[in-house]
Structure 1
Amino acid sequence: MKLQNSLLLASALLIAMPLAYADSNSCSYVNGGIGEGDQAMMLRIAKEFPLRIELSEGKRGSFLADIPVTVTDSHDKVVLNLANVGPILLVRLPKGNYTVKAISNGVAQSAKVTLDGKHTKRVVLHWDREPSPSEPVREKGE
């Protein structure tokens, strides 16, 4: 029933907001979170997903988007590989140990996470660099 509710909610989100949603045999995900409305919706449905990944940079914690992200299992098998993620990625995976990897401007970040099937785990990948003056800054809530 939760899966059906999540799928219905994700379908409604696709119509209302520019989020990306996919479902496969091994995992499902919702990607988005640019803008206050998008972020609020992502946070409302986050409890339905065991893994929440956030991407940010700089002293102010500006959100990042269009970042390649790979999630591998404990056997180094790729379970999710996306080219344009962020700033928030919600992932439904089975219980287990995973590694989340992402690259921004040639700098790799990774984090290990254990999903217990009961709680949502939050992974924040943060790069210390500040955006250059020519880059648009995406603030949390924009």
Structure 2
Amino acid sequence: MYTKLRFLLLPAFFVCVCASGTALAQSLPQPASQNGVSYITGGVGEDEVQAFRAAAPNYNLRMTFASKAGNYLSDVDVTIASGAGQPVLTVRTEGPFLYVRLPAGRYRIGAQRLHVSETKTIQVPAHGGAELRFYWDDPDAHGVIQICKNCRGAARR
């Protein structure tokens, strides 16, 4: 009885495994290229997040964008410049992740969200990869002035 059941369930198991692998592959955006630099951006939804995690080893600079409250952010304007200041990549993210394949070297990364900019410098290694995380204050609180340490602040609109 168990042998028959095993032979009946085994093909169903392989169909499920293959289908889930196909779903992960389909949820990963197609790589784009600019100035010879390959990148992917996205990460919206659980399937896409898992697909990005699987693709991470293929990119040597991996960036994540989030609020300090822990919410992922998209629509971040990112500029990557070489150590000599030459623009390498300019892109607006389509999710909280931007994975880039760059030649080894030193880069300056500028990220802007809702008129708030942050700049970081990073060394991309010849082997392995580098991670950058950008965090902004709560985007809903943009323009809020803190008038005392223990109060929430008053909105300037």
Q: Assess same fold via TM > 0.5.
A: yes
In the superposition, the TM-score normalised over structure 2's length comes to 0.69
Task: Describe the shift of the 1:131–1:58 C-alpha distance in structure 2 as closer, same or farther (beyond 3 A).
Answer: farther
Give the deviation of 1:109 after TM superposition.
Answer: 1.0
C-alpha distance in structure 1 between counterparts of 2:94 and 2:111, whole Å: 9
How many angstroms apart in 2 are the aligned matches of 1:63 and 1:74? 29
Calculate the aligned-residue CA RMSD, in Å: 2.2
**1:103-118 correspondence runs (5 A):** 103-118=112-127
Residues 13-92 of structure 1 mapped to structure 2, 5 A cutoff: 16-17=26-27, 19=29, 21-24=31-34, 26-59=36-69, 61-92=70-101
Is the strand fraction higher in 1 or 2?
Answer: 1
Q: Which of the two has higher C-alpha Rg?
A: 2
Q: Is the 8 A contact 2:64 2:98 kept in 1?
A: yes
Higher helix share: 2
Amino-acid identity (%): 26
* 1:131 aligned counterpart, secondary structure: helix
Distance 2:109 2:94 in 1: 12
Q: How far off is 1:130 after superposition?
A: 4.6
Matched residues in 1 for 2:132 and 2:48: separation?
19
Please report how far the alpha carbon of residue 24 of structure 1 lies from its aligned counterpart in structure 2 after TM superposition.
4.6
Match of 1:122 in 2: 131
Q: Which blocks of at least 5 consecutive residues in structure 1 are unaligned?
A: 1-11, 133-142
TM-score, L = length of structure 1: 0.75
Relative contact order: is structure 1 or structure 2 higher (C-alpha 8 Å, sep ≥ 6)? 1
Aligned partners of 1:23 and 1:29 also within 8 Å: yes
Deviations 1:44-66 (Å, cap 9, x if unpaired)?
A: 1111111001100132x111011
Deviation at 1:42, TM superposition (A): 0.4
Residue by residue over 1:97-133, the C-alpha shift from the partner in whole angstroms, topping out at 9 and shown as x without a partner, is 001111111100111110112111000011022536x
